Structure 1
Amino acid sequence: MFALQVEMKRCYRRGKGKRGRRTATAPNHNTRTVRLEREEPQTPVHAGPSSSGDPSSSSLTQNSVVPELPGFYYDSDKNRYFRLLPGHNNYNPLTKESIQYKAMECKRLKLLEEEEKQKKKTTRAGLNSSMLLQKRQLGLLSSTSYCRLVHELKVNCMHRRKIEIHSPDSSVAGTNNFKIIVADVACEQIFTVNDVEHGGCKYGIINLSGLGKESPTVEMYDNLYFTNRKVNSMCWASLTHPDSHVLLCLMGIAETPGCASLLPASLFSSSNSGDRPGMLCSFKISTAWSCAWCLNPQMSACFSTGLTRRVLVANVVTGRQQSFRTSSDVLAQQFATQAPVLYNGCRSGEIFSIDVRQRNRKGQSWKAIQLFHDSAVTSIRLLKAEHYLMAADMAGKIKLWDLRTAKCVKQYKGHHNEYAILPLHVNEEEGLLTAVGQDCYTRIWSLQDAHLLRTIPSPHPSSKDAIPSVVFSSRLGGHRGVPGLLMAVKQDLYHFSYD
């Protein structure tokens, strides 16, 4: 009899447990939360970081095991749902975008905290300085491989230091957001373009010789120039000597047409000696998306601009111009040095080359090499031997193309881009590829095997006007300079130096 009573109680409990189910109260004007009523509430399981070390690769829906309800989001800390849309009685600013931004900001702050504690380790198992030195002494590593792996180790140990900007006019430094920084070939100085608050741009040159000091400082040259037009693209130009000039492409406004201006670099320093007045020139053009300077002696003193459905090649001495019509806007350009050939990347995803020695031809029979991406090509970089070309697009893909076979041989994963024109930085001597994503993270890959070495968060919260501009070199400041990464974001300059 006693055993029968025990069995009946078990059946009753079992039946009561089956009747317990998950319910959600319907939202009304005064209700702002939806509760989960269940016997054993489950704690959301968050996915760990991806294998590539990219903090922005996971989404909120993938991280949670609770079901999605239209118009609501689930807060894992409070174990309840909250409304996304504003109610009738009071204002509720919650949106999916704000929730995702909050999650990304939490990850950025966490990564910054880890950076300051210097918890960075090598991404390759067993790779350390003592092991590399031993292999080098035993002859198991060539000097090239040894230097490349040492740079890889040092990149993972870089720590951030803020740079003090010295300027003759104290009201200029630190007042405008950096938009572009581009270093000359020797990495002795950088050309900077800053957005002005009420429209237009300021541009000038900063000397990097003070980076090696205990408290890094840089000096902004006396002459800063202002334009009420937007600077779309720029590059260094070697007209009278290496990096003697700067080529700027300015967007037209109202009745003022766009132009490509060639300015002597000495204009931005206190002394203007060494450049003749005739070396300053300007060409009227339509809106230019890109520009490039030719270093091949067969086409000396020539530059190109990528326009809307057109490529323009001009000689700054003779004024002669060549125009090549294209089927799409040209967003990226680079000249080869071993031959007078210009490579172009288009909004349509096409990459093609032009031999600029030929005269204008009807149609598009002048196209030589043709490669194709699935999205708009935003940056192209030729490797030194000029057998390979690196290209990035607006789908976040970075591909290495073999120009001899017209095939993709490597892909560098982790880059994030949706619509911005973002540059690639290739350092073959160090064996590194650097790119800043639209999510404001700076990523560094091994050029040899496409391995993601490090993901660096921005010191500032991510936004459209706070995408960092970077320069990487093993000799920042000149021949005896210091190695590391130079980052410009908002009004600040940072140096990520080797430890």
Structure 2
Amino acid sequence: MKRSGRPSRGRYGRRNHQQNPLSGPCSSGERYTTGAAQSLGHGDEESPSTSSSSTGDPSVPDLPGFYYDPEKKRYFRLLPGHNNCNPLTKESIRHKEMESKRLQLLEEEDKQKKKIARVGFNASSFLRKSQLGFLNTTSYCRLAHELRVSCMERKKVQIQSSDPSALASDRFNLILADTNSERLFTVNDVKIGGSKYGIINLRGLKTPTLEVHMHENLYFTNRKVNSMCWASLNHSDSHILLCLLGLAETPGCVTLLPASLFVSSHPGTDRPGMLCSFRIPGAWSCAWCVNFQANNCFSTGLSRRVLLTDVVTGHRQSYGTNSDVLAQQFAVVTPLLFNGCRSGEIFAIDLRSPTQGKGWKATRLFHDSAVTSVKLLQKEQCLMASDMAGKIKLWDLRTTKCIREYEGHVNEYAYLPLHVHEEEGLLVAVGQDCYTRIWSLHDAQLLRTIPSPYPTSKADIPSVAFSSRLGGSRGAPGLLMAVRQDLYCFSYS
């Protein structure tokens, strides 16, 4: 009596000596040559759901359920990966291809001493056009900045600290430059668990040394930092506003930290003991108000609610929403607060309107996925927004229509911010694939794709800060990238 599941004899050879590659069991190390694959019959095809990855070579047939390795020139069977020590899965194949591409890009950057801009984009051509009157001063400056971005070189920054052991073990999670780009607020993941904060003084960020000093503080938390921004309470950038997500039974909170806590030898005008903390359930985002009609106020994006808090008086206003608010930014000229939601909706709150009623929603835009970042442009007629589907769109707030899209950004579920720099005419964003991409703000041209110095990982997505004056008013334009324990500077040549 024939057992079910045992492979039968056929044209592939004897049982237990040469198995049918589509019906018999196969380890991740078993191989099949191209000739053997071509001899397979149509009756052995599997469903499209188990189809192998495309090899990109038309001479190699696509074998359902198998993967062809172009380096080893043989087929490997795709396995589920549940009970195997070294399974070959679609995820592992994709990760291997991404890592190979990243290493190739890094090698090209290291070998290429002088970076080359895109074809037809060089200094001599548009300098000549400017001299002939075909380019105005604004257009010429913008093109010059774009050329420099494509020629930036990576250099490692030396960080000095009173605790060198912490620099070797703590990993960068988030970085945020202040208004003048003189300081860099950092959130570092501690090895023992939780996060701690620090401030890096960027005034020493000058070539060829590129040496900075980190001021640390014992203040730390076991909560995850969802959002943060600089706050101007006593003077410009006097505090840091942090939005912390709750864990288990511990509620989330919004914390206002004086920047002087991190400079013990120079207390400044802030009292180190002045610390404001508000416990709020489901805190996702925060923003500091820079409009004079709502002075000393900050907003918090909660689960289906927006909370506006006055730091001085303690007065609070609550606005109900239909979804979690993941991103926020205040307007400067008009008393509006723009919010991006998990549902994909973007709406503005008119701060002059009462919380009750329907009049407080001033503008409504819609994305197809959760909105993770919103950025107002200087004239406040346009809004930049990104979502968890990797879409980056520029919206005209007057017509409520999308006027430009920036292609290439990668995101599936991560909370990734946008960095808009109108002075340089640039848009910077880090994707979930750990690549930092820089676009031209005016024509959506992708100018530069920068690979991470480390392999792609969910825990190693770089955090970046771009400024036209790194280190202060006399500083040079450039990009700072923090990943793991390292800080890199991509300065203009």
TM more than 0.5: yes
One-letter code aligned to 1:289: W
1:164 aligns with 2:164: no
One-letter code aligned to 1:300: N
1:318 aligns with 2:313: yes
One-letter code aligned to 2:315: R
* Alpha-carbon offset, residue 95 of structure 1: 1.4
Q: Equivalent residue for 2:395?
A: 401
Question: Mind listing any 5+ residue stretches in structure 1 that lack a counterpart?
Answer: 1-20, 42-58
Question: Mind listing any 5+ residue stretches in structure 2 that lack a counterpart?
Answer: 1-10, 40-51
**Equivalent-residue separation in structure 2 for 1:274 and 1:315 (angstroms):** 21
1:108 aligns with 2:102: yes
Could you give the per-residue CA deviations for residues 286-311 of structure 1, whole angstroms, max 9, x where no partner exists? Answer: 12111101001110000001111110
Q: Equivalent residue for 1:357?
A: 352
* Alpha-carbon offset, residue 60 of structure 1: 4.6
Structure 2 counterparts to residues 422-437 of structure 1, below 5 A: 422-437=416-431
One-letter code aligned to 1:449: D
Report if aligned partners of 2:243, 2:283 keep a CA contact under 8 Å in 1: yes
**Equivalent-residue separation in structure 2 for 1:294 and 1:178 (angstroms):** 27
**Equivalent-residue separation in structure 2 for 1:277 and 1:26 (angstroms):** 73
Structure 2 counterparts to residues 385-464 of structure 1, below 5 A: 385-464=379-458
TM value normalised by structure 1: 0.87
Q: Structure 1 residues 75 and 269 mapped into 2: Cα distance closer, same or farther (>3 Å)?
A: same
1:63 aligns with 2:38: no
Q: What percent identity do the matched residue pairs reach?
A: 65
Report if aligned partners of 2:291, 2:334 keep a CA contact under 8 Å in 1: yes
Report if aligned partners of 1:340, 1:357 keep a CA contact under 8 Å in 2: yes
* Alpha-carbon offset, residue 259 of structure 1: 1.6
**Equivalent-residue separation in structure 1 for 2:398 and 2:474 (angstroms):** 37
**Equivalent-residue separation in structure 1 for 2:12 and 2:53 (angstroms):** 22
Could you give the per-residue CA deviations for residues 23-47 of structure 1, whole angstroms, max 9, x where no partner exists? Answer: 9961345772222217999xxxxxx
1:151 aligns with 2:145: yes
1:216 aligns with 2:213: no
Over the aligned positions, Cα root-mean-square deviation in angstroms equals 2.5
One-letter code aligned to 1:163: V
One-letter code aligned to 2:54: T
| Partner SS state of residue 434, structure 1 | strand
Report if aligned partners of 2:256, 2:276 keep a CA contact under 8 Å in 1: yes
Q: Structure 1 residues 85 and 126 mapped into 2: Cα distance closer, same or farther (>3 Å)?
A: closer
Paired residues, what number? 460
Q: Which region of structure 1 is more displaced relative to structure 2, 400-409 or 68-77? A: 68-77
1:344 aligns with 2:339: yes
Q: Equivalent residue for 1:8?
A: none
| Partner SS state of residue 192, structure 2 | coil
TM value normalised by structure 2: 0.88
Q: Equivalent residue for 1:291?
A: 286
Could you give the per-residue CA deviations for residues 168-222 of structure 1, whole angstroms, max 9, x where no partner exists? Answer: 1112223211111010010001100011233211111101111113121111014
1:201 aligns with 2:201: no
1:470 aligns with 2:468: no
| Partner SS state of residue 37, structure 1 | helix
Q: Structure 1 residues 40 and 120 mapped into 2: Cα distance closer, same or farther (>3 Å)?
A: farther
**Equivalent-residue separation in structure 2 for 1:330 and 1:167 (angstroms):** 37
One-letter code aligned to 1:443: R
Report if aligned partners of 1:25, 1:34 keep a CA contact under 8 Å in 2: no
Could you give the per-residue CA deviations for residues 4-60 of structure 1, whole angstroms, max 9, x where no partner exists? Answer: xxxxxxxxxxxxxxxxx999961345772222217999xxxxxxxxxxxxxxxxx95
Could you give the per-residue CA deviations for residues 269-325 of structure 1, whole angstroms, max 9, x where no partner exists? Answer: 122230146853122211211110100111000000111111010000000001111
* Alpha-carbon offset, residue 232 of structure 1: 1.8
Could you give the per-residue CA deviations for residues 382-434 of structure 1, whole angstroms, max 9, x where no partner exists? Answer: 00000000000111110000000000000000000000110000010100000
Q: Structure 1 residues 155 and 89 mapped into 2: Cα distance closer, same or farther (>3 Å)?
A: closer
Report if aligned partners of 1:224, 1:268 keep a CA contact under 8 Å in 2: no
Q: Equivalent residue for 1:34?
A: 32
**Equivalent-residue separation in structure 2 for 1:245 and 1:497 (angstroms):** 28
**Equivalent-residue separation in structure 1 for 2:216 and 2:81 (angstroms):** 56
Q: Structure 1 residues 181 and 126 mapped into 2: Cα distance closer, same or farther (>3 Å)?
A: same
| Partner SS state of residue 278, structure 2 | strand
Q: Which region of structure 1 is more displaced relative to structure 2, 23-32 or 484-493? A: 23-32
Match of 1:83 among 77, 80, 88: 77
Q: Structure 1 residues 67 and 171 mapped into 2: Cα distance closer, same or farther (>3 Å)?
A: same
Report if aligned partners of 2:336, 2:350 keep a CA contact under 8 Å in 1: yes
1:260 aligns with 2:258: no
